[in-house]
Amino acid sequence: MKSINLNISFDQYNNIEELNEKDRLLCELAEQALATSHSPYSKFKVGTAIRLASGETILGSNQENVAYPSGLCAERVALFTIGSSRPDAVIESMAITAQTDAFEILKPVTSCGGCLQVMVEFERKQNSPIEVIFYCLKGEILKVNSVKSLLPFAFVEERLEG
């Protein structure tokens, strides 16, 4: 038997003012995306903004449905928009934020496992890392340099590609 230890590196910021201009703008756009959230059941809005290498930004927000499994997270809304309309686009960075009137969010909200798997797929497809910024509207921000660090055991099956 061999014991292996995994470590994750990330940057932690106290507030949006500590970010560079490009990251700050991406977070502000993710916040704007909250306005298009359709979340009448959970009342939990999630917004994401994705910056492409071309300089274009794609927004997404969570879209709920009364048949709960039929809804879609903000990250996947934006990623699938890119996949269907810009299949060769390269994603540089994405910012994710959340808001609810039900309680105060004091820490960054991170992506669910399903979204992480989709994010890893995009990273593999473009063969370059995607930077991810988890932005808490009222403070702390976490930033990772690659989705792979968030899901080190992502499902990968090369034989399905051929």
Q: What is the pLDDT of residues 118-128, one digit of tens each?
A: 999 999 999 99
Q: Which residue has the tokens 């959970």?
A: 42
- Taken in order of first residue, the domains within the chain and their CATH numbers are 26-149 (3.40.140.10)
- pLDDT grade for 153, boundaries at 50, 70 and 90: confident
Give, as one character, the DSSP assignment of residue 63: B
Contact, 117 vs 155, CB < 8 A?
yes
Q: Look at residue 162 in the predicted model and tell me its pLDDT.
A: 64
End-to-end, the C-alpha distance of the chain in Å comes to 33
DSSP alpha helix (H) spans, the chain: 21-33, 74-85, 113-126
Tens-digit pLDDT profile for residues 36-71: 999 999 999 999 999 999 999 999 999 999 998 899
Query: Contact, 93 vs 56, CB < 8 A?
Result: no
Is 147 a residue whose pLDDT tops 90? yes
Q: How far apart are the C-alpha atoms of 47 and 32, rounded to whole Å? A: 7
Q: CA–CA separation, 15 vs 134, rounded Å?
A: 11
